[in-house]
Amino acid sequence: MHKIVLYPGTFDPITNGHINVIERSAKLFDEVIVSVATNLSKTPLFSAEERVEMIKKDVSHLKNIKVESFGGLLVDFAKKKEACAIVRGLRPISDFEYEFQLATTNMSLCSEMETILLPAVKDNHFISSSMVKEVARLGGDVSDFVSPVVKKILAEKFRTL
């Protein structure tokens, strides 16, 4: 059976933490659809199209990855794509309650929708997209947190804002 999973998020922008989760998921499943959320309570710095393009560039070394944006409920998108599960990364302490809430909400909306939580590797415990944006906005070096492609796009974005 061809096992498809979704890896959903805002990805504003994609960080090395996200890339690590994508690479590990790609080894476990036949197909991973990186699912870029468009209807958010967050106000992203990058448009959905910009986020999709950035992710495509960052995962071009992997064969079984698709990148798509979605609106509406994640479980509806998962059903449409015939995904068997949702993958999320889990950083220590801070993420647990939120991820547990997200997973149980999705399960109550769709009882067979499982969530698989992959622990973040040690180097990425403190990375977040907000932190990356703050450092880049203030002219700091984000090389340890994002790919060279994203670093360049961030620098251009803050130059034109």
**Measured between alpha carbons, how far is residue 69 from residues 37, 55, 129 in Å?**
6, 11, 18
Which range binds ligand COA by CB under 6 A, 22-30, 55-63, 123-131, 134-142?
123-131
Cα–Cα nearest to 59, from 116, 29, 18: 18
Residue pair 83/17 in contact (Cβ under 8 Å)? The answer is no
Record the tokens describing residue 158, joined without a space. 């803050």
Please give the span between the terminal C-alpha atoms of the chain, in angstroms, as a whole number. Answer: 47
The residues near 125 (Cβ < 8 Å, ≥ 6 apart) are 91, 92
Applying CB under 6 A, among 130, 140, 152, 155 the residue interacting with ligand COA is 130
**Nearer to ligand COA among residue 21 and residue 150 (C-beta):** 21
Instruction: Given the residues 25, 129, 133, 147, select the one marked as catalytic.
Output: 129
Site for ligand COA in 50-109 (CB under 6 A): 73-74, 89, 91, 102, 105-106
Which range binds ligand COA by CB under 6 A, 7-15, 24-32, 52-60, 149-157?
7-15
Which range binds ligand COA by CB under 6 A, 51-59, 121-129, 136-144, 150-158?
121-129
Residue pair 127/89 in contact (Cβ under 8 Å)? The answer is no
Q: Which residues are catalytic?
A: 18, 42, 91, 129
* Positions that interact with ligand COA (CB under 6 A): 8-12, 15, 17-18, 21, 37, 73-74, 89, 91, 102, 105-106, 120, 124, 127-130
